[in-house]
Structure 1
Amino acid sequence: MTTSSKFLFRASLVAASVAAASSAYSAGFALNDHSATASGKALAGVAASNEDISASFWNPALFVNAQDTTVFVSGAYVMPSMDVTNISANNATAAGGSSITGSSTNSDSVNNTLVPSFYLAKPLSDKTVAGISLNVPFGLSGDYGQDWAGRFHATETAVQDIALSFSLAHRMNDWVSVGASVQVHKAEIVLESGVGSTVALAGGEGVGRIEADDTGYGYSLGVALEPKKGTRIGLGYRSEVDFDFKGDVKYTGVSTGLSTAKGLVDANVSDSVTLPSVLTLGLEQDLTPKLTLGLTAIKTGWGSLDGLNINFDSNQDNSVLTFGFEDQWMYSAGLTYAYSNELTLRTGVAMDNSPVTDEYRSARTPDGDRKWISVGGTYDFNDMTSATFAFTHVMIDDVSVNRTNLTEDASRGKLKADYESSANVISVAMNMAF
C-alpha cells in the first residue's frame, strides 16, 4: 500500500468514527459542511467559487482551482440543541388505549459531533487536474434513551454515509471548465426502539436493535463558466446512491411469551434505500476588486427516499416507516470581502427547507425548516498555506410529531411531542499547496 493510500485509509477510519452528525444542522439528514470556506458564506456561490478546491464537493469542475499539488482539510464541530416537550404516548392506534409511562420531556437526545472533509488535488497538466476527496454527505444521530414515553417509536437512530471520490477536472478554454467524479459510498444504519408494549398479552417489553450496512456507488458532474471577467456561473450534480442494506436485529429483555407471539427473535434483516441526488447552481459576481456577491440554489431529491421497509428472515412482520419526503430547495446569499492581501472575510444567510411533511414526521425524523447566519474568514500565511474559520448559527422552526392515525404504527402506538431545536457550528480548515 502506498503512503497516500495508507493516509486515505486512515482518514476514512477517522471519518467513520465521527461522522454521524445530528440532524439539527441540515434539512433532512444531508450534511452541508464540507468546507469551512463555503460555510463562512452559507454556501453562497459555492458551485461557481474560484477560492479553493473544497468547492469541488458541489461541482467537481472546481478542482481546476488548484495550480499546484494541494491538500485541503476541513472539520466542522456541530453543537446541536433539541428539547422535546409535551410528550404523550398511547399503546393503541384506536381510541381507548392506555397511556405509556415514561418521561414527558427529553433534552439529551443529540450530542456534539465532528464532521471531517479532505481534498487532494494534483495537476496533470496546465489544464487538467486529478482529485481525491473524502466526505460525509449524509449523517443522522439521535439517542432518546430507553426511558422516554416514545421509546416504541425510537430510542436510538444513526445514519452515516462516507464517500470517497475520484475526480478529473479540465479547463477547456479561458472561460469553460468541466469535471466529473466517481464515488464509493460506505453507509451504516442503526435503528433501536422498544418492543412489546402494544401486544395484548402479559409479555412485558424489551428492546430491539438493528444494525446494517452496505456499499454503494455514485457519480458527479459539473461545469464552471466565466463568460466575462468577474462573473462566474457553476452547475454541479451529485447522483442518487442505491444501497441494499443487510445486517441483523438483536433483542434484549424480551420475554418468552412476547417472543413467541410476535416472532421477536434475533434474525438477519434487509432493506433497499436510495439516498437522494443533489443539484447545485451557483453564481458569483465581483462587485468591486475587493467585494464579491454569491448566490446559490441547491435542490435535494429527497423524494427518492420513500422510507424504511425492513424485512426479517423470521416470522416477524416487516417494520415499515414512511418518510413521505418531498424534493426541497436550499437558497443562500453571501458576500466575500478581501480586507487585505492576507485576510479575506465572509458572511452569508440561507434558507434550508425541510423535506419532512407534517403527516409523516416521526421521532426518527423530527425535522423543520432552517435559517442560517454565517460568518468566516481566511488568513493567508504565504502563497502556499492558509487557515480558514467559520461560524454558523442554525435556527430551526419548532415542529410537532403527531402520530395518531397511521396504520404502520399499530405496534408502536400513538405519539405526540413538540420539538424546539437549534445548532451552532464551528468550522476550521487548512489549505496547503506544494
Structure 2
Amino acid sequence: MSRKITLTAVAVTAALMSINVNAAGFQVNEHSASGLGRAFSGEAAVADNASVLARNPAAMTLFKTAELSGGLTIVDPNIEVRDNDFGQTAKDVAPLALVPAGYYIHPVNDRFAVGLALFTSYGVATEYPADFNAGSAAGETSLITLNFNPNIAYRINENFSIGGGVSLVYGDAELTRFLGSLATVAGGEPSDQSMKMEGDTTGWGWNIGALYEINDNHRFGLSYRSQVDLDFEGDFTDYTGLITGTANNTVPGDLSVVLPAIAEFSGYHALNNQWAVHYSIQWIQYSKFEELRGTGDQCNPGYNGQAGVCLLKEEDYDDNARYSIGATYTLNPEWTLRAGFAFDEQAGKSTLSIPDTDRYWYSAGATYAYSKSMSFDVALTYLDGKETTFVEDGTSFTSSGGAIISAAQINYKF
C-alpha cells in the first residue's frame, strides 16, 4: 500500500478537525469572482456567466452561445486561538489560500445545453506553531478537494428548465503533528514531530437543479448537491503504543468521511434597466457529520480500550443555513457594479479542533465588459467571524478573527 496515494485515518481525521475561516464547518463557498461580489446571493438564478454551473445546472438554458469562465480567489485569513489557561496564543493559524475555478457551457440547441465545472466545495488549511501546547491536535494540516462535474440541462418550456450532473471528487491531504503537551509523557520537546502523512482518494456524487422564469426579469432557482463519501484506506501510526500496543508502530487504517449535501434556493429580480436584486438561502446537511472513526484490525487494545478503533472524534453538528442578499447596478454598457451581505450560521459546537462560529460577509465587486465577447470580474469581501470561547478537556480556549477575500475572473463568449 502506497502512503503517497492513500491517506491514513489519522491524517484525514486531523485534516477535518481544523479551522476553516471561509464558512461554517469546513465548507468552501468561493466559486467565482462575480458571486463573491454579491456575497453569493442569487447564485442559483442570476446566471451572468458560466460560473452558475457551481450552483444550478438548469440555468445553462439561459445561455445562447458557448461561454467560458475562469477565476482565482485569494483568501487571506487573520485567525488566532488563545489558550486561556496556559497563556499561549497561536496567531495566523489559517494560512493564505488560493482557490481556482473553471467553467464551460455549450448550448446544443434551443432546448439542450451541456457544461463542465471544476471547483471545490470543501477544504481546510491550518498551521499552528510547532511548540503550541495542543500540538498533538493542531500542527500543520491541509485538506483540498476538487470537483470534476459534467452537467446537462433541458428546457421543458419557455418558463421551466431542469438540469443535472455527476461529480468525481478528488481529495488530497497532508499532515504534520507535534508532541505538544504529550512531551511530558512521551519524552522529548513539545516541538518534536509526532507524525507526518500525506495521501489522496476519490469519491462520487451527483447534483440536480431547476429554473423557473416568470419572464426575462424575474426567475427562481433551486438546486441540490448530494453528499460525497470519501473512503480512505491508509496507514495509522501509533507513536506512544497506547493504541496498537507497540510504540512507533504503523498499521493499516480505514476511515469514511462525509462531505455533506447542499441545497439552495435563489431569486433574481430586475427592477428596471439598471437595478436588480437577488437573494439565496443555502442549507447544508451537517447533521450527517456525526463522528470521525478510524478503524483497523491491529488497533488493539485500541482507542480508549475499544479494540479495532484506532481513533474516535465525536462531533456535535446540526444542519445549518446561509442567508444572503445583494443588488446589481448597471452603470453603463461597460461597467456593472454589485454588492451583497451574507450571514453564515454556526454549524457545530465549538471545540479546539473546529472552533466554529457565526460569520458575516460584506462584499462588493464589478464587471468590466472589454468587448462583446470578453469581460472581467473583480470582487472584495470582508468576512467577520464572531469571537467564541469554549472548554475542551478542562482547558479554556478563545478563537477570534476574520478574513479578506479577493477574486478575479475572466469570461469569454464564443
Q: TM-score, normalised by structure 2?
A: 0.87
Instruction: Determine whether 1:82 maps to 2:62.
Output: no
SS at match of 1:63: helix
Match of 1:376 among 354, 358, 365: 365
Q: Per-residue deviation at 1:86?
A: 3.6
Alignment correspondent of 2:118: 134
Instruction: Determine whether 1:402 maps to 2:391.
Output: yes
- Which structure 2 residues correspond to residues 173-184 of structure 1 after superposition, within 5 A? 173-184=157-168
Alignment correspondent of 2:200: 213
- Cα-to-partner distance string for 1:272-330 (whole Å, 9 max, x where unaligned): 11110000000111122210111110000111111211124444532111221111000
Q: Per-residue deviation at 1:121?
A: 1.4
SS at match of 1:303: helix
Instruction: Determine whether 1:268 maps to 2:248.
Output: no
Alignment correspondent of 1:292: 276
Residues of 1 paired with 2:244 and 2:45: CA distance?
59
The one-letter amino acid of 1:424's match is I
- Which structure 2 residues correspond to residues 323-402 of structure 1 after superposition, within 5 A? 323-357=315-349, 361-402=350-391
Q: Per-residue deviation at 1:142?
A: 0.5
SS at match of 1:39: helix
Residues of 2 paired with 1:201 and 1:119: CA distance?
52
Residues of 2 paired with 1:427 and 1:300: CA distance?
24
Alignment correspondent of 2:231: 244
Is 1:42–1:348's contact at 8 Å kept on the other side of the alignment?
Answer: yes
Instruction: Determine whether 1:232 maps to 2:184.
Output: no
SS at match of 1:121: strand
SS at match of 1:106: strand
Q: Per-residue deviation at 1:199?
A: 9.4
The one-letter amino acid of 2:26's match is F
The one-letter amino acid of 2:35's match is A
Is 1:390–1:428's contact at 8 Å kept on the other side of the alignment?
Answer: yes
Residues of 2 paired with 1:144 and 1:157: CA distance?
9
Is 1:210–1:247's contact at 8 Å kept on the other side of the alignment?
Answer: no
Residues of 2 paired with 1:382 and 1:106: CA distance?
48
Alignment correspondent of 2:306: none
SS at match of 2:122: strand
Residues of 2 paired with 1:36 and 1:51: CA distance?
11
Residues of 2 paired with 1:212 and 1:149: CA distance?
27
Q: Percent identity?
A: 27
SS at match of 1:330: strand
Is 1:42–1:333's contact at 8 Å kept on the other side of the alignment?
Answer: yes
RMSD: 2.4
Distance 1:194 1:319, change over 3 A: farther
- Cα-to-partner distance string for 1:8-32 (whole Å, 9 max, x where unaligned): xxxxxxxxxxxx9971111111111
Match of 2:97 among 107, 110, 113: 113
Q: Per-residue deviation at 1:213?
A: 3.2
The one-letter amino acid of 2:38's match is K
- Cα-to-partner distance string for 1:24-63 (whole Å, 9 max, x where unaligned): 1111111111011111111111111131221121111122
Alignment correspondent of 2:402: 422
The one-letter amino acid of 1:345's match is L
Aligned residue-pair number: 387
Deviates more, 1:66-75 or 1:235-244: 66-75
Residues of 1 paired with 2:293 and 2:198: CA distance?
14
Q: Per-residue deviation at 1:218?
A: 0.6
Deviates more, 1:378-387 or 1:304-313: 304-313
Residues of 2 paired with 1:79 and 1:298: CA distance?
24
| Unaligned 5+ runs, structure 1 | 1-19, 90-102, 405-413
Deviates more, 1:226-235 or 1:159-168: 226-235
The one-letter amino acid of 1:337's match is Y
| Unaligned 5+ runs, structure 2 | 1-15, 304-309
The one-letter amino acid of 2:365's match is G
Distance 1:189 1:321, change over 3 A: farther
Residues of 2 paired with 1:196 and 1:228: CA distance?
61
- Cα-to-partner distance string for 1:78-99 (whole Å, 9 max, x where unaligned): 000012224436xxxxxxxxxx
Residues of 1 paired with 2:19 and 2:156: CA distance?
40
Deviates more, 1:161-170 or 1:310-319: 310-319
Is 2:152–2:165's contact at 8 Å kept on the other side of the alignment?
Answer: yes
Q: Per-residue deviation at 1:203?
A: 4.9
Alignment correspondent of 1:13: none
Is 2:63–2:107's contact at 8 Å kept on the other side of the alignment?
Answer: yes
Is 2:133–2:181's contact at 8 Å kept on the other side of the alignment?
Answer: no
Q: Per-residue deviation at 1:168?
A: 0.4
Distance 1:47 1:226, change over 3 A: same
Residues of 2 paired with 1:121 and 1:260: CA distance?
52
Is 1:197–1:204's contact at 8 Å kept on the other side of the alignment?
Answer: no
Q: Per-residue deviation at 1:195?
A: 5.0
Deviates more, 1:171-180 or 1:371-380: 171-180
Instruction: Determine whether 1:44 maps to 2:41.
Output: yes
